[in-house]
Structure formats: structure tokens, C-alpha cells
Amino acid sequence: TRVQSIALHQLVATSFARKRPGFHYGTAGESGLPDSWENTSFYSGHTSSAFAMATSATAVAWLRDYKSKELLMAITLTAALGAGLCRVFADSHWATDVATGAMVGIAVGLVPLVIHPRE
């Protein structure tokens, strides 16, 4: 699931060529972003991967009816949200990059439900 999320991100990020906030505001040097990342802001690949892993783990837990599925969902999705917020606070992405990354990650993470539907 993470591999599909990364591949899709690479395709979209290079196609849109959106400038990262750190380069826009001149703070990219402080955050250590390489110059090659200047125009790869849309959408957040880190957020997408985090939500894809959280959603797919939760989907499998629901399919297998684990007792702790609600707790797993709360913990993993909270961690994924935290990863996305950190990307915004570090001037690595705009909020819309993170929101889009979250939506893409959730869509990719729901693949187990499509492949293995409950009967």
C-alpha cells in the first residue's frame, strides 16, 4: 500500500511543480530541504504514506474483526494527522498539500476493503 502511495505521489508532485512554503518564505535552508525539492510541494507524500498505512491497518483490523480495532484506528489516524501537521509546521507543505495527501492516503489505504470485501 505504501509503495502505491509513493509512486502516485512522485507522478503528481513532478506534474504540478508547486513551490514549497519553505522556499516561498526563504526558510528552506533552516529546515534542511534540498534544492531539488523546491517545486514538489503538492501533495504531501509523507502524509499520504502515513494515512495509507493507518487506513490499511485499520481496514484489515475491521475485516478480521479484531477486538481492538477502534483503538487501533484512533491511534494510527491520530499519528497520521500528527505527521501531516508537522509537515505544515516545518514549512515543508501547505495545508492543502497535507489535506490532499491525507485524502489520497485514505483512498489507497482502503484497497484491502475493495480486494477482500466482507460477505
Q: pLDDT tens digits for 15-38?
A: 777 888 888 877 777 666 767 777
> Taking 90 as the threshold, does the pLDDT of residue 79 lie above it?
yes
Query: Can you give the pLDDT at residue 88?
Result: 92
Strand runs labelled E in the chain: none
Mean pLDDT of the chain: 85
> Taking 70 as the threshold, does the pLDDT of residue 1 lie above it?
no
Query: Can you give the pLDDT at residue 83?
Result: 95
The CA-atom distances, in angstroms, between 24 and each of 21, 27, 28, 29, 54 are 5, 8, 8, 12, 31
> Taking 70 as the threshold, does the pLDDT of residue 119 lie above it?
no
Rounded Cα distance between 109 and 117, Å, is 14
Tens-digit pLDDT profile for residues 40-63: 778 888 899 999 999 999 999 998
Rounded Cα distance between 115 and 93, Å, is 32
For 70-80, what is the mean pLDDT? Answer: 97
Query: Can you give the pLDDT at residue 31?
Result: 66
In this structure, the number of other CB atoms found within 10 A of the CB of residue 99 comes to: 16
| pTM of the shown model | 0.81
Residue 28, phi then psi, degrees to nearest 5: -65, -35
